[in-house]
Amino acid sequence: MPPIGDLLWTTLAAFLTFCIFSFLYKDNPFYKFAEHLVVGVSAGYFAMLLWYEGLIPKLYVPILKEGKLYYLIPGILGLLMWTRFSRKWAWISRYPIAVYVGIGTGVAIPLEMQTKVVRQLSASMTAISLNNATGINNLLVVIGVFCALVYFFFSKEHKGAFGGIARFGIWTLMIGFGAGFGLTVMGRVSLLIDRVKFLAETWWPMFKAFVGAVF
Amino acid sequence: MAFYEKLMGLDRRWVYLCVGIAVLIPFFIPFDVPVYTTPEVKAVYDFMESLKEGDVLFLAIDYDPNAMAELHPTATVMMRQAFSKNVKLVISALSQNGPGMAEQLIAQISKEYGKKSGVDYCYLGYKPYPGIVILAMGQNFRIPFPSDYYGVPLDSLPMMKNIKNYDDVKAVIDVTGTNAIDYWLVNGNARYKVKLAAAVTGVMAADYYPYLQSGQLFGLLSGLKGASEYEVLANQKGFAFSGMRIQTVAHIVVTLFIVIGNIGFFMARAGKRRS
Amino acid sequence: MQNKSRALTIAVLLLLPAILLAQDTLQSQTVAPAPPAEVKAFDTPNDNGHSITITWKLSADDGAGQNSVTMYEMLRAESPDGGFISRGVVAAGVSTYDDKGDKDKASQNYFPSGKNFYYKVRAKVGDIFSESEVAGPASAIGQWYHTGKTIVLAFVVIFMIFVLIFIRQAQKGKELYVRPIGGIAAVDEAIGRATEMGRPILYVMGLGAPNDIASIASYTILARIAKKTAEYQTPILVPCNDPIMMSIAQETVRTSYLDAGRPDTYKEENIFFVTSMQFAYVAAVNGIMLREKTATNFYLGKFFAESLILAETGSVAGSIQISGTDEVAQIPFFVAATDYTLIGEELYAASAYLGREPLLLGTLKAQDWAKGLIMALLLFGALAASLHWDFFVRLFTVRL
Amino acid sequence: MRQQLPLAIILVIGVFMALQYFVPHESSEFVYEWSLDWVIIIGVFAMALGLWSMFVVHYTKIQKKSSGWGFSVIAILGLLYMLIAGGIWGIEEGTPFMDFFWYVYTPIQATMFALLAFYIASAAYRAFRVRTILSTILLVAALLLMFRLIPIGPLSGPIQELDRWILGVPNLAAKRAIIIGVGLGIVATAVKVVLGIERSYLGKD
């Protein structure tokens, strides 16, 4: 007979698993139960995580333990977020938000230019040729990227030759999307298999053993 | 409501039901589905079959437990195949968290075939810096591994008597979820002309097909799919195959629904034309 | 204590190859390999000033001669005449090594900046080795500009110039044409439908961080859409997965209602926080769709695996769905399961399209010019690569 | 004060952080790492707003006895449990806090994730019709990739090859084009925000 604690916890997990699957048929009290439970639990989990992994190491320790008083600045900014609790002073919260957004956008400008634009561009600079497979494929990639970029033009009407290129571009995109979709099916199915495994190979034997032991 | 309308406007719950069945039935009821075996997998299998009793093979189990799901089946089936043919194995585990897992696997399978450490196989275990270890083994296994995983000096192992370096093993098969394969390619294959094949995770596979074309790898197994192909070839269908069976059925079901939807669509169009 | 043990493991890791090679007892090689030559030690370029680079000429017995070298070991000392300690190893065939450490003085692996060091390199096989001449002194210094990133700087500058040019034009009142985008054209219709049905609109900003640019783009679109919903008097529900996103969304929507001249009808409780964890959030949004019977769903921002869950549930509820994300892996599912999808860059163009403010349209034109430039470079680059004009190709590789 | 100062802050910080990227020197690294802490710390304080908002949503439901208010009780109980359990016993493995994480949160999130297996099928069924050229291309590409797991006799070989080609050539091209476009879109949006051209998200009055 399995330890009663494990059994209860695992049975709860199995029950919640069924609750979520029941949503496939229609929205129902079981799903609502699981949904609201997980919303509360996850919010609490994340909040505690922020407390222990965020507030304590990033604010409490630096200021009170290491005496890095300059950490008071973000601390105060954080406090300013709380002005949102009052209608009258809510506008003050724009300062921390401005800082927050400023950091994000500032970092993004060069970083995204490097990782998304320059790197992709240099990656496409490969030798093209018509007398070997690799060369031809490289050529096709370059053409594909070119046409797809044409599709993204906003300030030019998609008609005539330009429209033709754009159309070829969107075809390329569609092949990519189709491939992405088809490629993903396998991964999604294995997620389902894992759940079935949990029910059939972890929970059920445990449950059966218990029932067997009791009756 | 016309038949084609039914086909097109099928309540999606029927789809869900079919998917559920498509996963559950093959999960609980084992049955055969034909598995197409790719040449790059068959190449490895044929090579293994070509080995004679007493030949030595280097099996590198260079993956962490987190890649177990995808790679354990391959390592298992290959080890079984080797032992069943009385091929001797030199086994390394060049991934930091791998050695324990590899040790369990070896213990289990060597028991199945009554194989003894030091006689039928030699488990070297783990040492840091895979690049250097692989290179050093090209000189002599004893440079990085003076003694095996269990602390027995290599020189005292009967099986290792006249095995010095890669020249004395028929080939290296690297089962890996890490970049160890890159070191095997550079420091093993390129430097010492090791005959090399690899089994990698599904996501890694795409990056290594080029090496297949260039002949630096004589075979390549991609994730669970490669493993299942190999299980079929070696005729010991196990975990990978049953997983693949479910995948195959599920994919067929999805495909069928796409077909059904389109049949309905065409019938609808034909219907419109008539009226 | 813990620190000490970590330091110990680090030390062990550093020395392990040396140790394990030292234990080795084989008779085969007794001849020491030829030593590495022309050893140079110099400050590592483009770094934070805690690393020195060592280069050398491979030993004659590396890949040739006796072909016996298995590794090189770096040794460092504070004076040329002694006290050398091992700093790390590289495999044979490699002729450069960055001797780097932490910048934080407390760290066990601290590497002092601006201090002189001397180096020598060992070519090793087993426990037999031969040492190079001593190189140095060299000291680590931090740089103030990363030369490897110049190309990125160039792109940013050029792009800024484009932006400024076209903003200028826009200010001059120059009309800019923008081609129609299906997903954006459908926004009005979608809002109208919700109004007719007297049902709310759902706006999901995705699971990005509040300062992900995709999220910011989503706020700006929300601003436009909320303005319309305010005019149409249709409630808009914005469940958020991050408190800061919630705060920003509240400000945004409130402002839009203000602009629409209907501040009285703004309901703050309609822009609310659900939870920060991906699938719990999705579970809740699923519930909202089915229970509030939202007539129109917008999914604009950063989305991950949940994209398809939202889209499918939405179509079960029979809502019109307009989606847009920059997550390449998720676009296929939005394309398949929603009525309209803003593909990648279109997401970032949307606010300009909806806002129709000349300044914003100006930046669209700048984006097009940048695209044009990139397309030209793309073709020329491929050509250069084929003609082996490596200098050109190298120009565009960022050396980090 | 209410409008201009925040915009000024964004401009200054934005430009500074952008330049910082080009400076490898450790003082610049320090600023960057510190700024990351700022983001985290602001986030921690903001969480209080989130929890409050969540509490209000459910509390009003309960108060109004609006349909399904009972479930709101569950949500609040779940929240309180985690806060209290985490507060008392901490969040290490084996605490009542982590028990709830492993046996309540994990199975639910894993099952939500698993729903995708069903949804991907029904999405395929509804979307992949040979309606237009585009939807046909989408359909064919998806089918070809799915066929790699379906034994279709002699065709299987060529299909494997074809799939590899699709992934390596058109798929790669599509991805690259999208990523480049996205990159430009991101930079453009970021620039608009830093320059204060796009300010709708900041609110005004």
- With 0.80 as the threshold, say if the pTM is over it: yes
Contact A42 D105 (CB under 8 A): yes
Report yes or no: D116 at the C interface, CB cutoff 8 Å: yes
Cβ-based contacts under 8 A for chains A and D: 381
- Within chain C, all domains assigned CATH 3.40.50.1220 are found at 179-356
Q: Identify all chain B residues contacting D157, using CB atoms and an 8 Å cutoff.
A: 36, 38-39
Strands of the sheet containing B172-176, edge to edge, are: B121-125, B88-92, B56-62, B172-176, B196-200, B219-222
pLDDT tens-digit readout, A183-198: 999 999 999 999 999 9
Report yes or no: D82 at the A interface, CB cutoff 8 Å: yes
Is the Cα torsion angle D30, D33, D36, D38 positive or negative in sign? negative
Predicted pLDDT at C116: 93
| Strand ranges for B70-211 from DSSP E | 88-92, 121-125, 172-176, 196-200
Q: Which residues contact A133 (CB under 8 A, 6 or more apart)?
A: none
> Is the pLDDT at D113 greater than 50, yes or no?
yes
Is residue A61 within 8 A of residue D103, CB to CB? The reply is no
SS3 percent helix, strand, coil of chain A, rounded to 5, is 85, 0, 15
Predicted pLDDT at C106: 85
Predicted pLDDT at C81: 86
Q: Identify all chain B residues contacting D147, using CB atoms and an 8 Å cutoff.
A: 251, 255
pLDDT tens-digit readout, C238-295: 999 999 999 999 999 999 999 999 999 999 999 999 999 999 999 999 999 999 999 9
Q: Is the peptide bond before C137 cis (omega within 30 degrees of 0)?
A: yes
Bridge partner list, B221: B199
Of C281 and C16, which is predicted with more confidence? C281
The residue type found at A162 is F
> Is the pLDDT at C66 greater than 90, yes or no?
no
**How many angstroms separate the CA of residue A103 from the nearest CA in chain D?**
6
How far is the CA of B47 from the CAs of B39, B106, B171, C308, in angstroms? 12, 21, 9, 44
Is B65 inside a domain boundary?
A: yes
Other Cβ atoms less than 10 A from the Cβ of B149: the count is 19
User: Residue A139: which domain range?
Assistant: 129-215
pLDDT tens-digit readout, A75-111: 999 999 999 999 899 999 999 999 999 999 999 999 9
* 3-state secondary structure (DSSP) of residue C174: coil
Contact D139 B258 (CB under 8 A): yes
Least confident of A14-28, C76-90, C363-377, D106-120: C76-90
Contact A111 D202 (CB under 8 A): no
Is B116 inside a domain boundary?
A: yes
Element containing residue C69 per DSSP (H, E): none
* 3-state secondary structure (DSSP) of residue D90: coil
List the CATH code of the domain at C179-356: 3.40.50.1220
Contact A186 B251 (CB under 8 A): yes
Predicted pLDDT at D191: 95
Task: State CA D73 to chain mean position distance.
Answer: 28
Q: Which residues contact D13 (CB under 8 A, 6 or more apart)?
A: A98, A99, A102, A103, A106
Predicted pLDDT at C3: 47
Q: Are B88 and B53 members of one domain? A: yes
Contact B250 A189 (CB under 8 A): yes
Burial of B200 (0-12, 13-18, 19+ CB in 10 A): buried
Element containing residue D130 per DSSP (H, E): none
Which residue in chain B is spatially nearest to D128 when comparing CA positions?
Answer: B258
**How many angstroms separate the CA of residue D115 from the nearest CA in chain B?**
9
Bridge partner list, D95: none
Predicted pLDDT at C107: 86
Report yes or no: B132 at the D interface, CB cutoff 8 Å: no
The beta-carbon neighbor of C48 closest among D24, D198, D205 is D24
State both tokens at C249: 């969304």
Predicted pLDDT at C26: 45
Is residue C230 within 8 A of residue C265, CB to CB? The reply is yes
Burial per residue of D49-78, b for 16 or more beta-carbon CB atoms within 10 angstroms, e otherwise: bbbebbbebbeebeeeeeeeeebbebbbeb
* 3-state secondary structure (DSSP) of residue B118: coil
Report yes or no: A131 at the C interface, CB cutoff 8 Å: no
Q: Which residues contact C289 (CB under 8 A, 6 or more apart)?
A: C202, C297, C310, C313, C314, C317, C319
Which residue in chain A is spatially nearest to D140 when comparing CA positions?
Answer: A178
User: Residue B146: which domain range?
Assistant: 39-237
pLDDT band of C19, cuts 50, 70, 90:
very low
Half-sphere exposure of A46 (CA within 13 A, CB side): 26
Q: Which residues contact C18 (CB under 8 A, 6 or more apart)?
A: C73, C86, C89
Q: Are B260 and B130 members of one domain? A: no
The residue type found at C47 is D
Residue to test with chain D: of A15, A35, A46, A48, most D Cβ within 10 A: A48
Strands of the sheet containing C51-57, edge to edge, are: C37-43, C51-57, C96-100
Is B242 inside a domain boundary?
A: no
How far is the CA of D159 from the CAs of C53, C312, D168, in angstroms? 49, 30, 14
Is residue D79 within 8 A of residue D51, CB to CB? The reply is yes
Q: Identify all chain D residues contacting C283, using CB atoms and an 8 Å cutoff.
A: 108, 112
Q: Domain total for chain A?
A: 1
Is residue B185 within 8 A of residue B163, CB to CB? The reply is no
Residue with tokens 């460092």: C76
Q: What is the DSSP letter of B147?
A: B
Averaged pLDDT score across all residues of chain C = 89
> Is the pLDDT at C17 greater than 80, yes or no?
no
Is residue C358 within 8 A of residue C170, CB to CB? The reply is yes
ipTM score for this prediction: 0.91
> Is the pLDDT at C27 greater than 80, yes or no?
no
Tell me the domain boundaries of chain D.
Answer: 1-64
Q: Identify all chain B residues contacting C21, using CB atoms and an 8 Å cutoff.
A: 136, 143-144
Is residue C78 within 8 A of residue C111, CB to CB? The reply is no
Report yes or no: A127 at the C interface, CB cutoff 8 Å: yes
Is residue B154 within 8 A of residue B142, CB to CB? The reply is yes
Residue to test with chain A: of B222, B225, B251, most A Cβ within 10 A: B251
Is residue C370 within 8 A of residue C161, CB to CB? The reply is no
**Strands C128-131 and C135-138, bridge-based pairing:** unpaired
Contact D149 B225 (CB under 8 A): yes
Q: Domain total for chain B?
A: 2
Q: Are B74 and B204 members of one domain? A: yes
Is residue B205 within 8 A of residue B67, CB to CB? The reply is no
Task: State CA A124 to chain mean position distance.
Answer: 27
Predicted pLDDT at C306: 93
Report yes or no: C329 at the D interface, CB cutoff 8 Å: no
State both tokens at C263: 């501040």
> Is the pLDDT at C18 greater than 80, yes or no?
no
- Euclidean distance between the first and final Cα of chain D, in Å? 11
Distance CA D133, CA A174 (A): 10
Distance CA D166, CA A180 (A): 10
Q: Are B149 and B191 members of one domain? A: yes
Q: Are B125 and B21 members of one domain? A: no
Q: Are B9 and B138 members of one domain? A: no
Q: Identify all chain A residues contacting D160, using CB atoms and an 8 Å cutoff.
A: none
Radius of gyration, alpha carbons of chain C: 31
Q: Identify all chain A residues contacting B24, using CB atoms and an 8 Å cutoff.
A: 196
Distance CA D172, CA A139 (A): 12
State both tokens at C285: 């949004």
Is A58 inside a domain boundary?
A: no
pLDDT band of A134, cuts 50, 70, 90:
confident
Predicted pLDDT at C174: 79
> Is the pLDDT at C22 greater than 50, yes or no?
no
Rounded to 5 degrees, φ, ψ at C217 are -55, -40
Averaged pLDDT score across all residues of chain D = 93
Mean pLDDT value across residues A34-44? 97
Q: What is the DSSP letter of C33?
A: P
Predicted pLDDT at B1: 61
Residue to test with chain D: of A28, A80, A105, most D Cβ within 10 A: A105
Predicted pLDDT at C12: 45
Predicted pLDDT at C355: 85
Share of chain D above pLDDT 70, in %: 100
> Is the pLDDT at C10 greater than 70, yes or no?
no
The residue type found at B42 is K
Could you say which residues from 143 to 182 on chain B have a Cβ atom under 8 Å away from some Cβ of chain D? none
Domain C37-138 homologous superfamily, CATH: Immunoglobulins (2.60.40.10)
Is A165 inside a domain boundary?
A: yes
Q: Identify all chain C residues contacting D145, using CB atoms and an 8 Å cutoff.
A: none
The residue type found at B96 is Q
Q: Which residues contact D137 (CB under 8 A, 6 or more apart)?
A: A171, A174, A175, A178
> Is the pLDDT at A1 greater than 70, yes or no?
no
pLDDT tens-digit readout, D167-201: 989 999 999 999 999 999 999 999 999 999 988 88
Which residue in chain C is spatially nearest to D14 when comparing CA positions?
Answer: C211
Report yes or no: B23 at the A interface, CB cutoff 8 Å: yes
Averaged pLDDT score across all residues of chain A = 93
CA angle B200, B206, B212 (to 5 degrees): 80
Predicted pLDDT at C30: 61
H helix runs in C304-357, sequence order: 306-316, 331-337, 345-355
Q: What is the DSSP letter of C269?
A: G
The beta-carbon neighbor of A186 closest among B19, B27, B247 is B247
- Within chain C, all domains assigned CATH 2.60.40.10 are found at 37-138
Contact D75 A104 (CB under 8 A): no
Predicted pLDDT at D112: 95
Element containing residue D167 per DSSP (H, E): helix D156-168
Predicted pLDDT at B197: 96
- Most trustworthy range by pLDDT among C67-76, C130-139, D118-127: D118-127
* 3-state secondary structure (DSSP) of residue A177: helix
Report yes or no: A111 at the B interface, CB cutoff 8 Å: no
Q: What is the DSSP letter of C35?
A: P
Q: Identify all chain A residues contacting D83, using CB atoms and an 8 Å cutoff.
A: 44, 47-48
Q: Are B147 and B207 members of one domain? A: yes
State both tokens at B140: 């002599």
Is A146 inside a domain boundary?
A: yes
What is the block-wise mean pLDDT of chain B (275 residues), using blocks of 10 residues? 78 95 94 89 95 94 88 94 95 91 94 94 91 88 91 92 91 93 90 92 84 90 92 91 93 95 88 77
